[in-house]
Structure 1
Amino acid sequence: MARKRRAWHPKGYYHIIVRGNNRQNIFRNHEDVNEYFRVMDFVNGKFPFELYAYCIMTNHAHLLLRSPIVPLGKLMAPLNRRYSDYCRKRHGYVGQIYQNRYFSKEVIDATGLLQVSSYIHRNPIETKQPMVRSMELYPHSSYKYYFHERQSPYPYLIINLLPSLLPPGWERTPQGYAKYCRESRAGN
């Protein structure tokens, strides 16, 4: 039976999650994360996309992105295939490394983008055993670019959109957005 085609809109923003099969680790070290971004660079060269927030955890990854030219499947297929090929070769995986096909959900408004991006950035501090004591210390998240107002090495990581969406009373800067993430709670 064929899979149901996912909805896609060129102007849509999507929260994407890929998870390791049986929640096993798919990112074991810095080299694995670097390879994931090398593959994202390759995919972006073929199918340009915009990334607004990411967090690469040990057994899953969160991406908040927009794919204005091609449907998500066209973007995610080579990303997942190339990274899984790398894992099989480097770590000796047999079979599938991902639990399922990637999860995707369209984020429909500014409030949703702020909530989802905050949830993504708060992942390392909201695990049962927090991985770091503060978000800017986690090395595999886009939060550090907002917190330090640093230029990203990834040309497809756009850090000016989320601050511009902050509600009145918030400073609409990367630092203001970082403060919003610190003060928000997942799901709020």
Structure 2
Amino acid sequence: MGRPRRDWHANGYYHITMRGNNRQNIFTDHMDVNEYYRILTSVYGKFPFEVHAYCIMTNHVHLLLRSPHVSLGILMAQINKRYSDYYRRRHDFVGQIYQNRYYSKEVPLPTGMLQVSAYIHRNPIETNVPMVSQLQLYPYSSFPLYYYQRKSPHPFVRLDVLPSLVPAGTEYATWCQVPGT
């Protein structure tokens, strides 16, 4: 008996997470993170998608994305297979890298997009032991791009949608930093 098919809508936005097996680290250093970015860029070249928020933690990754051309299953299979192959080679690792199949949940516009993106961006400071004192200091997240209003070095990142959803007169980065948003 196969796994149930996941719902996918070309115009839908999805919160995607992948966690290391037994919560083990799957991003051990800057080289691992850079390879993940490289893989995302490579897959984007074949199956264009949009990432509106991301955070790469040591043992998991969050993506808020839209995949208008191919299903999430096809997209995530490409990303996860390539990264797990890389990880196994680099770290001489045998066994299952990911705890489960990726998690995905469709996110409603506009409120859900803001809530999920804030949750994603707040991950580094809302752990048992915060990884940074301020969100903009965490280097493996899209938050610094919003905070410093920088252009993304990654072609798959879109920075125009989330700021357009916050209440008038509010900066997206400021809105994100308020606990409980």
Matches within 5 A, 1:29-40: 29-40=29-40
Alignment RMSD, CA only? Answer: 0.8
After TM superposition, the score normalised by the length of structure 2 is 0.98
Structure 1: 5+ residue stretches without partners: 171-175
Question: Aligned partners of 2:85, 2:14: CA distance in 1, in Å?
Answer: 25
What SS does structure 1 have at the residue aligned with 2:53? strand
What SS does structure 1 have at the residue aligned with 2:42? helix
| Deviation by residue 1:69-127 (Cα, 9 ceiling, x = unmatched) | 10001100010000000110001111110000000000012000000000000000000
Look up the match of 2:109. 109
Look up the match of 1:177. 172
Q: Percent identity?
A: 63
Superposition deviation, residue 51 in structure 1 = 0.5
Are the counterparts in 1 of residues 40 and 156 from structure 2 also a CA contact under 8 Å? no
| Deviation by residue 1:127-176 (Cα, 9 ceiling, x = unmatched) | 00000000000010000000000010012211110000012442xxxxx1
Question: Aligned partners of 2:174, 2:53: CA distance in 1, in Å?
Answer: 15
| Deviation by residue 1:33-74 (Cα, 9 ceiling, x = unmatched) | 000011101110110000000000000000000000100011
The reply to whether residue 23 of structure 1 matches residue 26 of structure 2 is no
Question: Aligned partners of 1:108, 1:133: CA distance in 2, in Å?
Answer: 30
Superposition deviation, residue 29 in structure 1 = 0.3
Equivalenced residue count is 181
Matches within 5 A, 1:20-169: 20-169=20-169
Are the counterparts in 1 of residues 13 and 106 from structure 2 also a CA contact under 8 Å? yes
Moved over 3 A (4+): none
Question: Aligned partners of 2:50, 2:168: CA distance in 1, in Å?
Answer: 25
Structure 2: 5+ residue stretches without partners: none
Question: Aligned partners of 1:134, 1:103: CA distance in 2, in Å?
Answer: 27
What SS does structure 2 have at the residue aligned with 1:55? strand
What SS does structure 1 have at the residue aligned with 2:112? helix
Look up the match of 1:173. none
After TM superposition, the score normalised by the length of structure 1 is 0.94
Question: Aligned partners of 1:158, 1:168: CA distance in 2, in Å?
Answer: 20
Are the counterparts in 1 of residues 53 and 141 from structure 2 also a CA contact under 8 Å? yes
Which residue identity lines up with residue 41 of structure 1 in the other structure?
Answer: T
Which residue identity lines up with residue 46 of structure 2 in the other structure?
Answer: K
Which residue identity lines up with residue 40 of structure 1 in the other structure?
Answer: L
